[in-house]
Amino acid sequence: MKEIRVEARLRNNILYHAIFDRFKSVASFCRKYKLCQSSVGGLLNLKRSPLARNKSYSVTCEKIAKIFRMTPDMLFPPALYKIKQPERIWEISFSQLPSMSELKQLSAPSDPEKDIIEEEFKQSLAEALSLLAPREEQVLKYLYGLDGYEEKSLQEVGEIFHVSHTRIGQIRDKALRKLRHPTRIKLLRAHIY
């Protein structure tokens, strides 16, 4: 018998946070909205396709997306459900474990779910920023190092735009207020934890 059992679980992290940011459990979410817990669990654990036979989103997915005020493709990215599930349970002995010095040298494999979520976030952020005035968008990109820009201080950004650092702070504050507006925050809501 092996001494150690390692289990890995793949989940739809967008749906996970949408549910667990507001509810204690999947069961409490399902009770409130009269949803089948096994259906929601299957969607959460990537065991059930969000698409019906006619290749449109299922009624359950449409209802869940409506509850969280998101589109089904944001909440249930089709590419996420196409990921082939690798072996998720391993039983190994202590002798098979690498030593701590070897463990530090191991690089973490790419996480397809994380890559998808990061790409969706970049797209949502770009869309939200495009709704700002061009100057506000540029100021935020410089200040926060977005979109390949190098992060700069208020003073440095002020020098680029030929205004004081105080004025850059005002532009930043106005841009952030605009992004927090309900019509714009919905673009980023799925990515805010």
Q: pLDDT for 29-67, tens place per residue?
A: 999 999 999 899 889 888 888 888 888 899 999 999 999
Tell whether 136 is covered by a domain: yes
pLDDT score of 15 more than 70: yes
Q: How many domains does the chain have?
A: 2
| Residue 1 counted as domain residue | no
Domain of 174 in residue numbering reads as 114-191
Q: Which of 58, 81, 104 is the last residue of a domain?
A: 81
CATH number for the domain including 143? 1.10.10.10
Of the chain, the percentage scoring pLDDT greater than 70 comes to 76
Categorize the per-residue pLDDT at 103 as very low, low, confident or very high, splitting at 50, 70 and 90.
very low
Q: Which of 8, 80, 3 is nearest to 47 (CA)?
A: 80
| 62 within domain boundaries | yes
- What is the rounded average pLDDT of the residues 23-33? 90
pLDDT range class, residue 130, cuts 50, 70, 90: confident
Q: What is the mean pLDDT of residues 152-173?
A: 94
The chain-wide mean pLDDT, for the chain, equals: 81
User: Do the domain assignments include residue 68?
Assistant: yes
Question: CA neighbours within 13 Å on the CB side: how many for 87?
Answer: 5
